[in-house]
Amino acid sequence: MQAASRARERRQPLPFECLTYERKDKTCYLTLNRPDKLNALNAQLMAELREALDIIELDQEIRVVILTGAGRAFSAGFDLDKDSGGAPPQGEDPDVRRRHLQSHIDTFMMVWNLSKPVIAAVNGFALAGACELVQICDIKIASDRAVLGEPEIRAGVGLPLLITPFSIGLARSKELLLTGDTIDAHEAARLGMVSRVVPHDNLMAECEKIAKKICLLFPVGVNMTKVSVNRALEGMGFLSAISNNLELMIHFDISSEPEQDEFNKISDKQGLKAALNWRDARFKDL
């Protein structure tokens, strides 16, 4: 009777457009599904991710989540197209930008605070905000084709979530964040950004193997262990770092620099792809 009651109370997922939601036994699969845009995080995808996480939290039969991306990328990060709602709005006052960035932070923190473990199956590019999404997950398994990094600084935008120093330490996080460099999966594993690297064709099987182990454990014990580990990081200042970083990033986003102005000018006249090509061409010989 209780199981039947829980089944009736379970919220059913809406027909998502930018996210696929699939349940298999006690495992929920979430797939970022904008492959033509390398699963860039726009406003709709972020809203659908929040809705999916709400559903998962309420469904007592789900024990673990596997998060991945469709196509050749986990995600290229926040969609910088002006109409996407992914990037902070240009020319707005600080309060508008604060609300925009806070919304992204709140979505990522839903993964952090979810009562079930989230496994990131990093199937390809995981850049910028998506690299932070990977790091906020509980277990991170990368394909040998994966590329990770946070190149936001090259586009003149800030980081929504300052988790990288807590993942890989001060020295390497400063190097990556101050240069915008990317790293391959093996280097990410060596630094501790991901747990380990597996052959691309074995990625989902490896994540499912981990998920099956978790499903055999007592849910309360799993949840309390996740909470305890998270609280340890929070005790080291993680939440304060997020709060302080938000204010710094608002200042960063409303500032004007020649390089940022040129990037925006090219994006307006020739499109985002041309602006990204201009950005990356400046670093090709370095």
| Residues identified as active-site | 132, 152
Alpha carbon distance 177, 10 (integer Å):
41
Alpha carbon distance 46, 191 (integer Å):
28
In the sheet that holds 182-184, the strands lie side by side as 73-75, 125-127, 147-149, 182-184
Read off the amino acid at residue 197. Answer: V
Give the residue carrying structure tokens 């972020």.
46
Read off the amino acid at residue 263. Answer: F
Which CA distances in Å does 240 have to 108, 158, 160, 175, 237?
Answer: 15, 17, 13, 22, 5
Chain-centre distance of CA 286, in angstroms? 27
Query: Helix 219-235 crosses helix 238-254 at what angle (to 10 degrees)?
Result: 60
**Is 229:238 a contact under the CB 8 Å cutoff?**
no
Q: In terms of Cα–Cα distance, which of 51, 18, 50, 15 is closest to 37? A: 18
